[in-house]
Amino acid sequence: MRIVIAGGHGQIALRLERLLAGRGDEAAGIIRNPDQAGDLRAAGAEPVVCDLEKASVEEVAGHLEGADAVVFAAGAGPGSGAERKQTVDRGAAVLFADAAERAGVRRYVIVSSMGADTDPPAGTDAVFAAYLRAKGEADADVRAREGLDWTVLRPGRLTDDPGTGRVALAGHTGYGEVTRDDVAAVLAALLADGGASAGLTLELVGGDVPVADAVAAAGSGRG
């Protein structure tokens, strides 16, 4: 498979690229900063320089030609303000979906966030609240598209602990933590499930079920 990842230099994306390359898939990562290209090559991925805050649908679609699947794992990141939550976490995700449809790539996996479907509680930091709203709006846009076989993945609080290979993956898991290693492993498994998880919004936290079994159960409706 050829898989194109938006936010190709992100912590989860780099882990995913290594997993894809390790199993023989062809990964390409979209990055804004060309100085990051070497890190992608080291991960086994092809760097594609493109600024998703400025690019046209046609330009991005050109980068997606021939892909079997795409993953939106981009984000404005820590230290960015509420405005960039809209332009990246929402706007770039919508642009990427438009481009996938234009390029004829149906399989679209988006990395979202737990809590993106609800109004942030009173007292939530204003920028984090803007982030959750932006993610929720992006998810809603993607889920309304009949031209995409989408899966929305909503991890809990991310950690850099070593992955366990065991998770809880379901429509509702309850809040919890999950390692970035395990998020990447779940993404890799979702991309290889033949579209069984298409049309699902899945929450992800650490758990007791091996990743492959958890993805298979979710895709069969047992998650």
Please indicate whether residue 175 is annotated as part of the active site. Answer: no
Question: What tokens were used for 60?
Answer: 């991005």
DSSP for 57-94, written as a single string: HHHHHHHHTT-SEEEE-----TT--HHHIIIIIIIIHH
Q: What is the 3-state secondary structure (H, E, C) of 171-217?
A: CCCCCCEEEHHHHHHHHHHHHCCCCCCCCEEEEEEECCEEHHHHHHH
Annotated active-site residue in 72, 96, 108, 131: 131
What does residue 115 show for φ and ψ, rounded to 5 degrees? 95, 0
Positions marked active-site: 131
